[in-house]
Structure 1
Amino acid sequence: MTVVARDVDIVIVGGGIVGASCAYFLAERGAEVLLLEAGRIGREASGVNAGGVRQQARALPEMPLALESVRLWADLERRLEVPLEYERCGDLRIVENAEDAARLRAVAARERETGLALEWVDGAALRALVPSIAPGVLGGTFCPTGGQANPLRVAPAIGRRARDLGAIVWEGCPVRALARDGEGFALDCAHGRVRASRVVLAAGAWTPIVAEGLGARLPISLFVPQMQATVPLPPVLGTVLLGFTRKLSMKQMRSGAVLVGGGKRGWGDLVTRAKGLAAESMRLGAVDAVDVLPHLRGVPALAQLALRRRAGAPPRRHHDARGGGLQPLARARAVERGVPVRGLSRPALALFNVLFLCFLVAPVVVIVLVAFTPEGWLKIPTTRFSVRWFRAILDHPEFISAFRNSALIAVAASALSTTLGTLAALGIVRHRFPGRDLVQSFLLSPLMVPTVVSGVALLYFFSRVGLASTLTGVVVAHVIVTGPYVIRTVSASLAGFDRSLEHAAMTLGANRLQTFWRVTLPLILPGVSAGAVFAFIVSFDELTVTLFVTGPKLVTLPIRIYNHITYITYITDPLVAAISATLVFLTIGVVVVLERLVGLDRLLGTQ
């Protein structure tokens, strides 16, 4: 006997933009909906396309739907509460010879009869619309309601909103069989058997396979268009370009990258879901793009850019497509020559940097000199040096014990704050929820609240729950103090993170955990590493809060040094200076080891 996993009113097979939209609007109207997707929502054709929101160049029976979609797009970002990068920038369908111009005018006349607004542009009007267009382009039809959006965002956002409205969404749940069951339908899927009164087939190229169980033969075949993108460029396209003489589409995304498509074919397999690029199609697409938009000549493709970066040659953009010519390069050379460019000259900047560096390094130099003095005070100038005070550290086991306590607490606190802070940053940056700003302010409040106030509050709270004067209490207090540093650094890494890389990984079959471990974490690792380093340093040096929450049996190194200085005559005690110098040398040693083993540029993400 087959277990019925779900009995619903409507089942939608396929989680592309059509299926997700059906689920969203049906759920909005209170229908009981189950959305079944074999992979991830919006990760097949709906997520890897040119992102055009066009009305012209469609089959005439589609035109009423295309016109209605314009009204929906205008309000979709507000309804979904997610930025979709939608822009109503218009689209321009271009021709390159007189024969095609006559044909396009006839096509445009039929499209206007459906209610579509189209304007023929040529000559000066054409050049005003796209100044960088090739001289060989004669003209075209401009549709002001056309536009573009980011396909990687749209379908997933609609699917999430459908779930919020009550739709049941099963991802990773392919349909194995579909058959009639009395007056309804029965579906066998990865989660069991489902019965439904109505079924919507929105599985794209897989729809004919699913429909075979109903005895239906649908004339749908597989077509795998491929696209290519440039590196981010200054604005070169203010509208979407559509080819009429040649198969071509071009649009510039908000990132600055120019996306080139238009029907050049790749290859794919419905059964294995394997897909790939065709080199000749890539070449032809690049040729068409450069012919229509000569500004793209010589612009490297993204793949070429990646190879250059791996080879250690970061790309430099010398040409400003907006007409600035060699301005960025000229500006750099002017600074190299010491020519004032909107600010201080190079010598003045160098002097400022030297003075600032001296201000930072001077206290460390004084500490080291005091540590090596043979007397009990610092005498400048001096030619006598001794390790007397470093040997004296061994005569004070309380300092060694305090160092051990500080290191243990700092390791534990930095590990916990790095883990929790990274998760908090992911939640704050990636998700929108009521009170998000309040949560963020609360998590970052230890940076703004005076440490004395934090110490008193934690002492009062820990006394009530039994954590006062315990190792656990001190670690928890340090996590509260150091957590904001991790949240800030990881949030900064996530703010510039390109989520299309995650979407690409999931499209290729990775689950969420694999995507995070193999794609997200390596890319945000510089921010995580910097946060961990900050957390360790702040925890190791923490004094004020620790004074309130620790006890006489758990003394950290800052407290031990504070107590030692309090009971001697001279603050410049060489013993304390020797301990401080030892910490400086240990820090330098750690930096040298990290540089040799990993490389600081790689660890901190500056390479």
Structure 2
Amino acid sequence: MTTRQADVIIVGGGIMGSATAFFLRQRGRSVILLERGLLGQQASGTNFGNVRRQGRFLPQLPLANRSLDIWRRLPQLIGEDVEFLPSGHIRVCYGQDRVGMLEEYALAARTYGLDLEMFAGERMRARFPFLGPEVGAASYSPLDGHANPRLAAPAFGRAAAKNGAQIFENTEVDAITRQGDDFLVSATDGRLFKAPAMLVAAGAWADKLCLQFDEPVDLVARGPQMGVTEPVPYGLKTVVGVTSPRDEEILYFRQIPRGNIIFGGGGRGPAYPDLRRAYVMPKNTLNQLRQLQRLAPALANLNVIRVWSGVESYMPDDLPVMGPSARVSGLHYAFGFCGHGFQLGPGVGDVMAELIDTGRTTTPIEPFLISRFSKQMPAQAELILDKFVEQE
């Protein structure tokens, strides 16, 4: 059987893998992308679609800023519209307990080029009149927005293929070995692929591949709880998210131009990577509807027309694994984005292509290296994570 060869093999066709394939082709590198199902079928296509920067781990903001720049140029860059709307994003809290946290984050974020505007009281009511009476303050990011997750990864994949990337869907990896300086990847149907560099971007399935290279990670799969209502007149252009120490209060929603309200948040449901399935828990949907009415009373009594989930990967410190292997030359990782990777996808692809092509990147990614699991996280980093990192 003929062995297909390229400069780089990418395992995983979500937005991270597909975007990396595209940007590697922009750099003139030959690429083979292997996806066990269809491009964007799992977490990249089943998430909320938030293209937001605020609320992130602060050292992740340079990556988020790089990604936003790409989102804004996507139609010209890849030749397709993935429904990105820079509609603005507000992050709100109930009462006054977390107002100080929002203000502190806004001040710190300026250092990273993220300008946030604080709203409270009558000024907040005038600017965002749909917010419920319990909302105490809002942090507004005018350049953030949302996009259609069902379109993004496949669009990057098609653009990469048009530029010469070899895309293989419905191709499940059986084993990865080293053959001299190359990686030899065998599929379950017997096909063979070879390259001197490889990127593992396999989401909730990446831990099994890491284990083959003696770099185990404590990855957990979970299912986001998503839903969409019947269409109503379009008027809520800003994406809204709640910050709270209580999982049941966390909710986010956005309205698309067709009028439907897309919502998510709260507790996550079970996910089964071996079955490629994740499930929505009815109790979670009921809680989301209660929280939606609390957050925006005008949205009460809407009919829910669909709920869904997908298989997402979570790391113990709520940060992704991204960068070179600590043990194997030519091996790279980009997975475990913990439910807040959609906005980062184009930037991750650009950074990983730069790293694979040149051996370095202009965007700092040190906090995300896999080597961090072999040493204790500094207490200061733990404090930052506890205060600032939130789910999508």
Higher strand share: 2
Q: Distance in 2 between matches of 1:182 and 1:263?
A: 48
Number of the residue aligned with 2:232: 233
What residue number does 1:351 align with?
none
Aligned to 2:101: 103
Matched, 1:254 2:257: yes
Q: Give the structure with higher Rg (CA).
A: 1
Taking the aligned partners of 1:74 and 1:263, their CA distance within structure 2 comes to 29
- Percent identity, aligned pairs only? 32
Residues in 2 aligned to 1:233 and 1:5: alpha-carbon distance in whole angstroms: 53
The secondary structure found in structure 1 opposite 2:112 is coil
What CA RMSD, in Å, does the superposition of the two structures yield over aligned residues? 1.5
Which of 278, 281, 289 is matched with 1:275 structurally? 278
* Aligned-partner Cα distance in 1 for 2:147–2:123: 25
Shift of 1:90: 0.9
Q: What amino acid sits opposite 2:24 in the alignment?
A: L
The amino acid across from 1:221 in the alignment is V
* CA distance in structure 1 between the partners assigned to 2:81 and 2:111 by the alignment: 34
For 1:174 and 1:154, how far apart are their aligned partners in 2?
22
C-alpha deviation, 1:94, in angstroms: 0.1
**Matched residue SS, 2:135:** coil
Aligned-partner SS, 2:98? helix
1:195 paired residue number: 194
Match of 1:75 among 73, 91, 103: 73
Q: Residue 241 of structure 2: SS of its match in structure 1?
A: strand
Q: For 1:340-385, what per-residue CA distance to the aligned partner results, in whole angstroms no more than 9, with x for missing partners?
A: xxxxxxxxxxxxxxxxxxxxxxxxxxxxxxxxxxxxxxxxxxxxxx
Q: Which has the higher contact order (CA 8 A, sep 6+)?
A: 2
Equivalent-residue separation in structure 2 for 1:49 and 1:74 (angstroms): 20
| Secondary structure of the corresponding residue to residue 113 of structure 2 | coil
Deviation at 1:181, TM superposition (A): 2.5
Deviation at 1:263, TM superposition (A): 4.5
Instruction: Name the counterpart of 2:295.
Output: 292
Secondary structure of 2:284's partner?
Answer: helix
User: 3-state DSSP class of the match of 1:73?
Assistant: helix
Which residue identity lines up with residue 294 of structure 2 in the other structure? Answer: D
Deviations 1:98-143 (A, max 9, x none): 1111122222222222221111112233223322111111111111
Structure 2 alignment gaps of length 5 or more: 308-392
3-state DSSP of counterpart to 1:24: helix
1:262 Cα deviation (Å)? Answer: 2.2
Query: Aligned equivalents of 2:121 and 2:207: distance in 1?
Result: 47
Q: Find the aligned partners of 2:233 and 2:36 in 1 and give their Cα distance.
A: 39
Q: Any conservation in 1 of the 2:227–2:304 contact (CA below 8 Å)?
A: yes
Equivalence map 1:453-532=2 (5 Å) = none
Quote the residue 1:265 is aligned against: 268
Q: What is the aligned counterpart of 1:90 among 72, 83, 88?
A: 88
1:139 matched residue in structure 2: 137
Q: What is the one-letter code of the residue matched to 2:50?
A: G
Question: Which residue in the other structure is 2:361 paired with?
Answer: none
Give the letter for the 1:42 counterpart. Answer: G
SS at match of 2:197: strand
Q: 1:110 to 1:4 in 2, by over 3 A?
A: farther
Decide whether the 8 Å contact of 2:87 with 2:237 is kept in 1.
yes
Letter of the 2:299 partner, please give it.
Answer: L
The CA distance in 1 between the partners of 2:250 and 2:239, in whole Å, is 14
Partners of 1:256 and 1:281 in 2: how far apart?
A: 23
User: Which of residues 5, 17, 31 in structure 2 aligns to 1:7?
Assistant: 5
The residue type equivalent to 1:219 in the other structure is D
Change (3 A) 1:74 1:303: closer
Contact residue 175 and residue 185 of structure 2 kept, 8 A = yes
* CA shift for structure 1 position 4: 4.7
2:215 maps to a residue whose letter is A
1:132–1:236 CA contact under 8 A, matched in 2: no
Number of the residue aligned with 1:208: 207
Of the three residues 62, 65, 69, the one matched with 2:63 is 65
Q: Distance in 2 between matches of 1:61 and 1:157?
A: 28
Alignment of 1:306-345 (within 5 A): none
Residues 72 and 303 from structure 1, CA distance in 2 versus in 1: closer, same or farther, beyond 3 angstroms? closer
Shift of residue 236, structure 1, vs aligned partner: 4.0
Partners of 1:90 and 1:222 lie apart in 2 by 30
Q: Relative to structure 2, which stretch is displaced further, 66-75 or 125-134? A: 125-134
- Once residues 188 and 61 of structure 2 are traced to their aligned partners in structure 1, the CA distance between those partners, rounded to angstroms, is 37
Amino acid at match of 2:10: I
Structure 1 CA distance, aligned partners of 2:58 and 2:220? 21
**CA distance in structure 2 between the partners assigned to 1:264 and 1:229 by the alignment:** 17
Per the alignment, residue 472 of structure 1 pairs with none
- Is the CA contact (8 Å cut-off) linking 2:200 and 2:206 kept in structure 1? yes
Q: Is the 8 A contact 1:90 1:144 kept in 2?
A: yes
Aligned counterpart, 1:432: none
Contact 2:96–2:137 (CA<8 Å) still a contact in 1?
no
Output the TM-score relative to the length of structure 1: 0.48
User: Structure 2: how far apart are the matches of 1:53 and 1:216?
Assistant: 31
Structure 1: segments with no counterpart, 5+ residues: 305-607
Mapped to 2, the partners of 1:256 and 1:126 lie a distance apart of 24
- C-alpha distance in structure 1 between counterparts of 2:52 and 2:282, whole Å: 28
Q: Distance in 2 between matches of 1:46 and 1:60?
A: 23
Q: Please state which structure has a larger fraction of its residues in helix.
A: 1
Amino acid at match of 1:206: W
Alpha-carbon contact 1:130-1:239 (below 8 Å) kept:
no
| TM-score scaled by length of structure 2 | 0.74
Offset of residue 16 of structure 1:
0.3
CA spacing shift, 1:143–1:280, aligned 2, 3 Å: same
Structure 1 residues 223 and 303: CA distance shift in structure 2, 3 A: closer
Task: Look up the SS of the partner of 2:3 in the other structure.
Answer: strand
Kindly provide the CA deviation profile for residues 429-484 of structure 1, in whole angstroms up to 9, marking residues without a partner as x. xxxxxxxxxxxxxxxxxxxxxxxxxxxxxxxxxxxxxxxxxxxxxxxxxxxxxxxx
